[in-house]
Amino acid sequence: MEFDNDHCIKMNDGNKIPAVGFGTYSPDAVQKSKCEEATKVAIEVGFRHIDGAFVYGTEEEVGRAIHEKIADGTVKREDIFYTGKLGSTFHRPELVRNCLEQSLKKLKFDYLDLFIIHIPVSLKPGPDLSPMDENGKLIFDIVDLRQTWEAMEACKDAGLVKSIGVSNFNIRQLEMILNKPGLKYKPVLNQVECHPYLNQGKLLAFCKSKDILLEAYSVLGSQRDKMWIDQSTPVLLEDPVLGAIARKYNQSPALVALRYQLQRGIVVLFKSFTRKRIEENLQVFDFQLSEEDMKTIDGMNKNGPYGHLKP
């Protein structure tokens, strides 16, 4: 993959995306309160790609952090690449722009750099972002995502977003969008869970063949939130194979996991509330893994996602 001097990659619509991004998902109120400060730190140390979402509930905090760094002269708005996501309760085409405009209002932005469909699962519209029935089961909605995509295209045409993409789509779902009659813009990227235990080889090959970038979240194996992660699953950063390669390069296992994805042509997201770790992870451009070590990490693949509810 070709990086320019700013470590950016050109997408299929001609716009550029920084190859490493800072995530802002915060699972609870305590972490939400830390999100604003962490975003400021990320910008201070050099991150220009900030990944957010309507459902994270942190866009006001993230927006304040970015505006503070604009006000003190650290960055200009055009230096920041911000990703927002369409919530699943807004998939009906007439609701897409409403979700986007709510995000823009919270962030106090005129536009988003990238707007993506968060999950290819539609939920019942309404104020509750995770609508449940009396038995605690999610209430789904039936929406043709090709119509949702047309509404995304309209948001781009209106100048409210510069690029549009998807998240958590499989090959069949991507083909549904790509084969849509009258397609105006194809997705610039697909953001998915991706790490050495789930390396998404087939999906990556498909996306490359269609000039769609793959963007990875949970690249370090996730933060093991008990709500989502089976605690018996192995801890990626404690894997002895990754540890041995990290020692060979005098780097941390986290940096090796990040570098592995970059060398596969994947945009990577990571998050931390610790300045030391935020600074460290920008050192991913300071070394290169050998072809042999890349193949060794390929061999760690278990096709196992971290991101699922415990049984």
Cα 72 to Cα 43, 68, 136, 278, distances in angstroms: 12, 6, 47, 20
With a CB cutoff of 8 Å and minimum separation 6, the contacts of 145 are 91, 117, 120, 122, 173, 176, 177
Which listed residue (25, 56, 217, 306) is catalytic?
56
Q: Which positions make up the binding site?
A: 118
Q: Which positions make up the binding site for substrate?
A: 118
- Tell me the residue type at 137: K
| Whether residue 217 lies in the annotated active site | no
Give the 3-state secondary structure of residue 239: coil
C-alpha 103/C-alpha 96 separation (Å) is 11
C-alpha 161/C-alpha 154 separation (Å) is 9
Q: What's the DSSP call for residue 5?
A: T
Give the 3-state secondary structure of residue 149: helix
Task: Count the neighbouring beta carbons within 10 Å of the beta carbon of residue 224.
Answer: 13
C-alpha 82/C-alpha 112 separation (Å) is 6
C-alpha 64/C-alpha 37 separation (Å) is 10
Task: Count the neighbouring beta carbons within 10 Å of the beta carbon of residue 258.
Answer: 28
**DSSP-derived pairing of the beta strands 16-18 and 8-10:** antiparallel
Segment (H or E) for 116? strand 112-117
Q: Which residues are catalytic?
A: 56
